[in-house]
């Protein structure tokens, strides 16, 4: 648990010297704490490059659910394997003068041609002929959500084997568009701390979420955070901030929470020290002038 004794003592001195309420100082500290908590929540950091691991994770997850029939891609390769087994079972090469390898090569060339030209009708017909499951014309986000599981709501490749969906309509463009849409949600868990910061009633001239990047704050409208403001309690002034994201505990550990609060405390103590020194120097000058 974070030791707040030094903060409380310093805040009392600060409030008396700069003529502000202790509650106002506590609220300012809580806002700074929200910024540090957001930085310490996965994906860690606050720069544009820090969101990239999250975006990559999104792309990898979606690629375990949907794929497209690109020329010389996984769909074509898998279909060719299935075709070879069928041609071999029918005895091509043993009595028909054309081997299973030759038949499979011709089949693969034809399939690659359909994929390259975007002949969705032919692709769908060939996939259906081989009893290919999960053929879809458009991306259904519900299929992606159904494939997610666990505390982090990720897609398990092992659990999703045989459940992948072949996207015929729209193909790669549609898939990339969906990936980009979902990637915009990266930072959702961090955004809950921004919601908390925005709810703290601090007298300020700048944004309540100053210090939290835009790629995080853009998710505030769908994030959930709450505060309990008891900064006016004379015996135990305090503010509680809660990240209400269901998987928040998987994105920031208790140790990381403590570390973030310690950093925020040190920052705010340093801020108060500057104001205290400034006020003491001002008072000393007034006494000297008198």
Q: Quickly state the pLDDT bin for 39 (edges 50, 70, 90).
A: very high
Average pLDDT (242-252) is 93
List pLDDT tens digits, range 43-102. Answer: 999 998 999 999 999 998 898 888 888 888 777 888 888 888 888 887 655 555 567 888
Which 3 state secondary structure label does DSSP give 228? strand
Share of the chain above pLDDT 70, in %: 90
pLDDT at residue 119, rounded to an integer: 86
Nearest to residue 29, comparing CAs of 63, 2, 60? 2
Question: Comparing 157-171, 194-208, 245-259, which segment has the lowest mean pLDDT?
Answer: 157-171
Check pLDDT > 70 for residue 161: no
Average pLDDT (123-135) is 80
Element at 207 (helix H, strand E): none
Mean residue pLDDT of the chain comes to 86
pLDDT at residue 257, rounded to an integer: 95
pLDDT at residue 56, rounded to an integer: 92
pLDDT at residue 78, rounded to an integer: 80
pLDDT at residue 203, rounded to an integer: 78
pTM to 2 decimal places = 0.75
Residue position matching structure tokens 């494939």: 147
pLDDT at residue 3, rounded to an integer: 58
Q: Which token pair is 66? A: 């949907």
Phi (first) and psi of residue 72, to 5 degrees? 60, 20
C-alpha 171/C-alpha 120 separation (Å) is 9
Check pLDDT > 80 for residue 287: no
pLDDT at residue 241, rounded to an integer: 96
List pLDDT tens digits, range 198-218. Answer: 999 987 767 899 999 999 999
The Cβ of residue 143 has, within 10 Å, a number of other Cβ atoms equal to 15
Q: Which token pair is 46? A: 């606050």
Nearest to residue 181, comparing CAs of 59, 70, 67? 59
List pLDDT tens digits, range 185-199. Answer: 999 999 999 999 999
C-alpha 216/C-alpha 170 separation (Å) is 30
Give the length of the chain.
290
Strands 66-67 and 165-167: parallel
DSSP state of 75: H
Q: Which token pair is 63? A: 């690629």
Q: Which token pair is 261? A: 């609060």
Q: Of 73-77, 79-83, 131-135, 228-232, which has the strongest mean pLDDT?
A: 228-232
């Amino acid at each position: 648990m974070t030791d707040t004794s030094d903060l409380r003592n310093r805040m009392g001195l600060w409030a008396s010297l700069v003529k502000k309420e202790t509650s106002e100082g506590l609220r300012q500290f809580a806002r700074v704490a929200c910024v540090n908590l957001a930085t310490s929540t996965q994906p860690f950091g606050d720069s544009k490059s820090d969101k990239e691991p999250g975006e990559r994770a999104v792309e990898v997850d979606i690629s375990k659910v949907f794929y497209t029939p690109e020329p010389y891609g996984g769909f074509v390769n898998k279909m060719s394997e299935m075709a070879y087994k069928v041609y071999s079972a029918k005895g091509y090469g043993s009595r028909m003068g054309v081997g299973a390898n030759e038949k499979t090569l011709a089949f693969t060339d034809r399939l690659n041609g359909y994929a390259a030209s975007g002949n969705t009708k032919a692709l769908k017909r060939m996939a259906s002929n081989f009893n290919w499951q999960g053929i879809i014309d458009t991306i259904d986000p519900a299929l992606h959500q159904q494939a997610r599981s666990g505390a982090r709501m990720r897609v398990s490749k092992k659990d999703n084997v045989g459940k992948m969906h072949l996207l015929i309509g729209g193909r790669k463009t549609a898939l990339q568009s969906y990936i980009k849409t979902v990637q915009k949600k990266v930072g959702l868990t961090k955004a809950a701390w921004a919601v908390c910061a925005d709810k703290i009633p601090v007298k300020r001239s700048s944004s309540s979420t100053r210090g939290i990047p835009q790629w995080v704050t853009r998710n505030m409208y769908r994030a959930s955070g709450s505060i309990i403001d008891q900064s006016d309690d004379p015996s135990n002034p305090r503010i509680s901030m809660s990240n209400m994201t269901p998987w928040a505990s998987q994105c920031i550990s208790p140790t990381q929470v403590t570390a973030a609060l310690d950093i925020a405390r040190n920052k705010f103590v340093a801020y108060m020290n500057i104001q205290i020194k400034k006020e003491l120097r001002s008072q000393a000058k007034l006494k000297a002038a008198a």
